[in-house]
């Protein structure tokens, strides 16, 4: 099958490079690789298999279907599902080595009544106000877990709201809350296998606060979670996102390009049509100051990004149909950091990477 469209080259050697840097930062604390949302757009199954080859034996996803996809691909290692469970998940989770998420008081009866009951991680709300057992209800839940041998609580965890920001007082408050939960569990003599709170932000901002497992997503993929975290870790972008030149046309000065005619050619120039659009994950708002890379030079985007295509002002460059421009990532001649695009359009690296959709061909490079 011939595909003419965007391509995402997934550089697994960069994934391994990032993994090794993170391991060094954590002084040997095991990593739970977060591969939800198709591994942040990179391809969940190939990424999980690659990380497994380096010793990762804990993975996390959001939906139960994502966990089943990994299991169907032969990932037998532990998988944690972040979403709230439903009754129809329980028996298959127990059979397939999938840990579910106990994050709401009303979900506890599901685990008590299930036979067999799947293992689960207890999520505590320490200040995110999303999913999680309310802090003032945790002791009651812990007591029920202690008194019911049928329940298989393998982990306790929480989620930071501000760990990727420069001001960490709220993160420290959440950490105090979490430590109190752990003290409560200790006083009940609960044996918990996995304790995890840290994420990509705290790996950089608060590495000393890690417990015995660390959830890592964005850093593995070679992007920083925000511009406020320390950026001295020499991570490398894993994804190289490119779009093909499918047409070239000479236009005269003053020619309007794309919807609304908001861009006009400043002089006679060559306009290239790139077969990649916002339906493929190219950020529509990047057209104002956006640019692409080609053979060591950078060229401005010309006009509004369309659903399936966008245009580039190539000037007098020697460009050919079939050339592929760099949208973001890194190769031998060009570098465009996804973080820079995110900052320019008031977005995040998370949004841009996970937006890379199914029309983009992913090519995995070992």
Choice among 7, 19, 23, 36 that is catalytic: 36
Q: What is the CA radius of gyration of the chain?
A: 23
pLDDT in tens, the chain (366 residues): 455 899 999 999 999 999 999 999 999 899 999 999 999 999 999 999 999 999 999 999 999 999 999 999 999 999 999 999 999 999 999 999 999 999 999 999 999 999 999 999 999 999 999 999 999 999 999 999 999 999 999 999 999 999 999 899 999 999 999 999 999 999 999 999 999 999 999 999 998 888 999 999 999 999 999 888 888 899 999 999 999 999 999 999 999 999 999 999 999 999 999 999 999 999 999 998 999 999 999 999 999 999 999 999 999 989 999 999 999 999 999 999 999 999 999 999 999 999 999 999 999 998
Please give the Cα distance from 225 to 161 (Å, whole number): 12
Please give the Cα distance from 199 to 196 (Å, whole number): 9
pLDDT tens digits for 260-300? 999 999 999 999 999 999 999 999 999 989 999 999 999 99
Choice among 186, 191, 259, 297 that is catalytic: 259
Please name which of 28, 38, 118, 108 lies closest in space to residue 78, comparing C-alpha atoms.
118
pLDDT tens digits for 14-55? 999 999 999 999 998 999 999 999 999 999 999 999 999 999
C-alpha of 357 from chain center = 14
Q: Which residue(s) pair with 273 in the sheet?
A: 247, 311
Query: Strand pairing of 133-134 and 98-102?
Result: unpaired
- Extract the tokens encoding 17: 């490079």
Any catalytic annotation for residue 36?
Answer: yes
Please give the Cα distance from 14 to 42 (Å, whole number): 12
Any catalytic annotation for residue 221?
Answer: no
Q: Which residue(s) pair with 124 in the sheet?
A: 133
Give the domains, in start order, of the chain with CATH numbers: 12-221 (3.20.20.10), 239-365 (2.40.37.10)
- How many distinct helices (H) and strands (E) make up the chain? 11, 20
């Amino acid at each position: 099958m011939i595909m003419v469209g965007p391509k995402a080259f997934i550089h697994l050697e960069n994934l391994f490079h990032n993994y090794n840097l993170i391991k060094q930062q954590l002084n040997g604390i095991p990593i739970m690789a977060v591969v939800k949302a198709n591994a942040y757009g990179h391809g969940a199954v190939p990424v999980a298999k690659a990380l497994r080859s380096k010793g990762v034996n804990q993975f996390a996803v959001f939906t139960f279907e994502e966990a089943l996809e990994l299991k169907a691909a032969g990932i037998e290692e532990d998988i944690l599902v972040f979403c709230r469970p439903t009754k129809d998940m329980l028996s298959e989770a127990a059979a397939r080595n999938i840990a579910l998420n106990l994050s709401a008081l009303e979900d506890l009866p599901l685990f008590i009544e299930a036979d067999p009951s799947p293992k689960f991680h207890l999520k505590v709300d320490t200040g995110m106000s999303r999913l999680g057992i309310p802090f003032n209800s945790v002791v009651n839940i812990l007591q029920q877990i202690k008194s019911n041998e049928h329940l298989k609580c393998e982990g306790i965890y929480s989620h930071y709201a501000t760990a990727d920001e420069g001001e960490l007082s709220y993160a420290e408050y959440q950490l105090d809350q979490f430590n109190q939960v752990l003290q409560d569990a200790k006083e009940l003599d609960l044996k918990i296998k996995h304790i995890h709170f840290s994420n990509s932000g705290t790996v950089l901002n608060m590495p000393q606060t890690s417990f015995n497992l660390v959830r890592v997503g964005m850093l593995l993929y070679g992007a920083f979670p925000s511009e406020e975290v320390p950026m001295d870790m020499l991570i490398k972008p894993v994804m190289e996102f490119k779009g093909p030149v499918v047409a070239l046309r000479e236009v005269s000065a003053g020619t309007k390009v794309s919807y609304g005619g908001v861009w006009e050619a400043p002089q006679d120039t060559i306009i290239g049509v790139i077969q990649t659009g916002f339906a493929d994950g190219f950020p529509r708002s990047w057209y104002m100051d956006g640019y692409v890379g080609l053979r060591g030079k950078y060229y401005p985007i010309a006009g509004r990004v369309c659903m399936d295509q966008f245009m580039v002002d190539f000037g007098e460059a020697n460009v050919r149909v079939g050339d592929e421009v760099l949208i973001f990532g890194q190769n031998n001649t060009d570098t465009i950091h996804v973080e820079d695009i995110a900052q320019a359009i008031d977005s995040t690296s998370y949004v841009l990477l996970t937006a890379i959709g199914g029309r983009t061909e992913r090519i995995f490079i070992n």
